[in-house]
Structure formats: structure tokens, C-alpha cells
Structure 1
Amino acid sequence: MKWTIPNILTLLRMLAAPMVAVMFLYFSRPLADWLALLLFAGASITDWFDGYLARLWKQETKLGTMLDPIADKAMVLIALTILVGYTESSWTPWIVLPATVILFREVFVSGLREFLGDTAGTLKVTKLAKWKTTAQMVAIAVLFSRGIFEHHHAFIGMEWAARTGVALLWIAAFLTLVTGVDYLLKALPFLKEDE
């Protein structure tokens, strides 16, 4: 194992994922919303930096390649769980369906990669999948900001954050679905039974 700065950034992002949930367990709102937003946004930014620095400094490692998608998935899945649990009930149905699509696809693609083993290189991350991750992270950050507006009684900001966040989450869910189908189609030749 090689501990480079990009790998450390990835590991910090992975550790930040459960800390987002901890904010809501130990702090009251809106402080929990602020801390979760800052932690989530900061960790999301490292997603771009760790890959960029690894390529720039020629420090791409197997450890980083393994940890990066795990950190991304942990951040998104834990944050979505928190949002579904802590969102005002009138907005919950609009968040649950795209969150379900995202959760299902992430588990499905992880299962495909695990099953394919050595041939999992077939499912390398595509540019569209990177856009999907970006859309998910931006949507989640905007939805976390909604809680801040709500507790400061800023109705206009709260409505803007809710509508924008939900719209972005649906876009993210669509991209998530498209990339999931793409990975499935790429995996199909490896799933055929031997004649």
C-alpha cells in the first residue's frame, strides 16, 4: 500500500461519509445542517482533487483506484439516507424515488463488478458516470442547504433549495439509470452461460 496525498484525500472522503450522519445524531438543527453541508461539500471537492493530483503527480495506485468509487458511493448513499429521513414530509415523495433509483444502481453495479472480478475492467468509469457523480453531489449539497433555510425561516431560499435540489436529484437519477444500463450492456457478454 502506498500512502500518497491523493490516496489520503480519498480516505478522508470515505471517513467523512459516516460523519455526515453523525452530525444529525449529536447536533441540533440548523447546526447539524450547516455541519453536514460543509462536511459533504468539502469531501465532494476532494473527489475532483484526488484524481487530478494523482494524474498530475503520476501517483495513480491500486489503493486509490479501489478506494475512490467506494468513497463516492459511501458519500452519496449515506447522504441520501439522511435526506430521506430528515426531509419535511411534503417533499419526501419527490426525493424517495430518485434516491431509490440511485441506491439500486449503485448496489447493482457494485455487484456486477464483484461478479466480473478480473474482467471488471470492462466496467471502467465513463465520463458520463463522472457527470452522474457530480450531479448527485451537487443535488445533495443543495438539498442539505434547504434545512438551513428552513430553520432560519427563509421561505424563498427554502423553496428555491427544495425545488432546485429535487430537480437536480431527478437529473442525477436519470444519469444514474443511463450509466447503469450502459454498464449492464457492457457486462452482458461476460454473463453468458458456457455452451
Structure 2
Amino acid sequence: MASRLTPRAGGRVAGDRVWTVPNLLSMLRLAGVPVFLWLVLVPQADWWALGLLAFAGISDWLDGKIARIWDQASRLGALLDPMADRLYIFAALLGLVVRGIVPWWLMAVLVLRDGLMLLSLPVLRHYGYGTLPVNFAGKAATLCLLYSFPLLFLAGYAGIVGDGARIVGWAFALWGTAIYWWAGLLYAVQGRRLIAQSRRADRPSGTGDDPVPGVAATSGGDSRAGAEPGQPEQTAPGRGCGPPSSGTTDRKGATSPP
């Protein structure tokens, strides 16, 4: 579950460290995105591009492992890690579309999903929440897509290797796209629940009914304040012997603060 941006009292504050090993690996991965795109488009050095993509995948696994073992998780790392994954997906898709290996609609479908996710961030921040943590479906979708891109690059070569890479690559790409959207729906459900929870928590607690005019709010008041002149005084039933009658205000509710 996403945590509030403002630290809660007694809770553990998320690390604000910047220069950690996982963050350095994420920064290195981000620096490799333009290099990867240049290798794909300009010299079309596919093998070098695939090597860089493999390094990005290994470092993605490694920085998460180090962050857990060495307790170096940070807010910056939670932002950089998924950003690097999405930029590599975008760069690989752009290269495949420009070279005519995959159709443009595949890129449009994936970019549309990420665009909707970006539009939800200001809404979450308005209610005091940061980015949602990556769920299992999102991780599985990212892995499927990152596996599909090297295979789709190899599909451009003739022979049995290219044919096999085309079949397996498209299988990973279509499965990854479907799971990518499924993860987006899970994020939307989670965000909606967090917003509803925040609204309930921020709602004033003193929403009880106002005391009825003429009836004392405390036990020290005159019970005959609302009686008509000439009517005899009625003795109230024993206290604690059942719920209060309709039209009277509960003592506990009347004396408790809002």
C-alpha cells in the first residue's frame, strides 16, 4: 500500500538518502537509455544494444536485491527504478517502430497506459499519497516486455533463428501488453481505495445529531426545562437500564468532544 507523504508519528520514515548503491545502479541504467536508442537507430548495432539491454535487466534485479539486503531503500530509488524500466520499454519500442519491426499500435497501447498512470499521480498527491508501489502483475508485465524486445530484434534476421525469435517474441509482447494493462487496472483499484480511505479519515468525527432544544445536555441540567407549566414532574427511569428514549440526547455523546 502506498504510504502518506507526511511521516506518521511513531512510524518509520522512508529513507531520503541519495548516494546509495541501488540509486547509483538506477542512475547508470538511466544514462544507458540514450546510448541504447542510438545503437538501435544509428549504426543498428543490435548485438551491442542487446548487451546493454541485458545489463539493464541484470542491474534492475541487482539494485532491488542490494536495497533489501543492505537496507538502502529510499524514496529516490522507488522513483528511479520504475522510471528506468519504462524508459527502456519506450526506447526499445521506438527503435522497433522506426525500423518497421513492430506496428505503431503496439507502442500506442503501451504509451496510453503509462499516460493514464501519470495523470493519476496529481490526484494521489492531492490526498497525500505518493506513487503506488509496483505490484506483482506490473513486474511480470515489465519482464515479459523486456524479454520480447531482444527477440523481436533478432526476428529481423533470416533463418530458423529469426523465425523462432519472431514467434516467441510476439508471444511475450502480447502477453506483456495484456498484463501491463491488467496491472494498470489493479493500480486504479488500489488508488481508488486509498482515496476513499483518506476521505473517511479526513471526515470530521463530530457528526452526531445536535441536542434537542429544551433537553439538558448534561446530567446536571434541570430535567423540567422543557416541561410545560402545570405538568407534574416525571421521575426518570433508572440510569443504565436500557437505551435512552427517542428525543433525548445520550450523555456520552453530548459530553464527548467533536
TM-score range, shorter chain: 0.7 to 0.9
> Greater shift after overlay, 78-87 or 96-105?
96-105
Question: Which residue of the other structure, out of 80, 84, 100, is the alignment partner of 2:108?
Answer: 100
Distance 1:174 1:139 in 2: 13
**Could you tell me whether the CA contact under 8 Å between 1:17 and 1:75 is conserved in 2?**
yes
Aligned to 1:47: 60
Aligned to 1:18: 34
Question: Which residue of the other structure, out of 146, 156, 163, is the alignment partner of 1:159?
Answer: 163
**Could you tell me whether the CA contact under 8 Å between 1:114 and 1:120 is conserved in 2?**
no
Are residues 1:36 and 2:49 paired?
A: yes
By how many angstroms is 1:135 displaced?
0.9
Distance 2:51 2:112 in 1: 27
**C-alpha distance after superposition, 1:6-62 (max 9, x if no partner):** 1111111111112111113442x4xx1111111111112211111111111111112
Letter in structure 2 aligned against 1:132: A
> What do you get for the CA RMSD once the two structures are aligned?
2.0
Work out which of the two has the higher radius of gyration on C-alpha atoms and give 1 or 2: 2
Aligned to 1:133: 142
Letter in structure 2 aligned against 1:138: Y
Question: Which residue of the other structure, out of 62, 74, 85, is the alignment partner of 2:75?
Answer: 62
Q: TM-score normalised to the size of structure 1? A: 0.83
**C-alpha distance after superposition, 1:69-91 (max 9, x if no partner):** 11111111111111111134xxx
Are residues 1:74 and 2:87 paired?
A: yes
Distance 1:178 1:185 in 2: 11
**Could you tell me whether the CA contact under 8 Å between 2:113 and 2:181 is conserved in 1?**
yes
Are residues 1:120 and 2:124 paired?
A: no
**Could you tell me whether the CA contact under 8 Å between 1:37 and 1:145 is conserved in 2?**
no
> Greater shift after overlay, 110-119 or 64-73?
110-119
**Could you tell me whether the CA contact under 8 Å between 1:99 and 1:173 is conserved in 2?**
no
Letter in structure 1 aligned against 2:150: A
Distance 1:141 1:35 in 2: 11
**Could you tell me whether the CA contact under 8 Å between 1:101 and 1:176 is conserved in 2?**
no
**Could you tell me whether the CA contact under 8 Å between 1:135 and 1:172 is conserved in 2?**
yes
Letter in structure 2 aligned against 1:106: D
Q: TM-score normalised to the size of structure 2? A: 0.64
**Could you tell me whether the CA contact under 8 Å between 2:41 and 2:95 is conserved in 1?**
no
Aligned to 2:151: 142
Structure 1 gaps, min length 5: none
Distance 1:133 1:167 in 2: 14
**SS at 2:155 equivalent:** helix
Aligned to 2:186: 182
Number of residue pairs the alignment of both structures matches? 178
Distance 2:170 2:108 in 1: 13
Distance 2:108 2:142 in 1: 15
